[in-house]
Amino acid sequence: MLDVGRKRASELGFSGMEWLQGNAECLSSIADNTYDSYTIAFGIRNVTHIDKALKEAYRVLKPGGQFMCLEFSQVQNENLRWLYDQYSFQAIPVMGQLIAGQWKAYQYLVESIRQFPNQEEFAGMIERAGFAFVRHENLTFGVVAIHCGHKL
């Protein structure tokens, strides 16, 4: 994954980026109050202890720093949710099998989406980790949500 990232960065012309492999629940090589912003896209769902990852995010951010998380969330509208569920459970694993040859992986994907807390619950977890000005924005009726918070 890191290699793919490095390649993409050089293709797009970015330089001066550091690539580090670590554990989101325990960023031991990063000191406190180091970074201006912390972003995580479609990653926090895969962390076993989300609260630990949030606490680490809080620790490494500078005062005033912004935490941003893009993640799958719950569709708000009930009818759309039914449609989305049908698509997730009936169509996605089939497509996964046909295109990538991996039924189970895509089944895990849609199941893990359902396991993840919804917008308000996740916002509550972010607040409990110590962040302020916590807000969230839905994309595509709630299929995906962006959560933001600041360390004060």
Binding residues for other proteins (CB under 8 A): 36-37, 61-66, 132-133, 135, 148, 150, 152
Backbone angles phi, psi at 144, to 5 degrees: -130, 145
Q: Kindly tell me which of 83 and 152 has the beta carbon lying closer to other proteins.
A: 152
Q: Kindly tell me which of 18 and 36 has the beta carbon lying closer to other proteins.
A: 36
Find the shortest distance in angstroms from Cβ 135 to other proteins.
7
The DSSP-derived string for 26-72 is B-TTS-TT-EEEEEEES-GGG-S-HHHHHHHHHHHEEEEEEEEEEEE
Q: What is the DSSP letter of 23?
A: B
Find the shortest distance in angstroms from Cβ 29 to other proteins.
20
Q: Kindly tell me which of 16 and 101 has the beta carbon lying closer to other proteins.
A: 16
Give the separation between CA 118 and CA 76, rounded to whole angstroms. Answer: 9
107's enclosing H/E stretch is helix 103-115
Q: Kindly tell me which of 75 and 151 has the beta carbon lying closer to other proteins.
A: 151
Find the shortest distance in angstroms from Cβ 65 to other proteins.
4
Find the shortest distance in angstroms from Cβ 136 to other proteins.
12
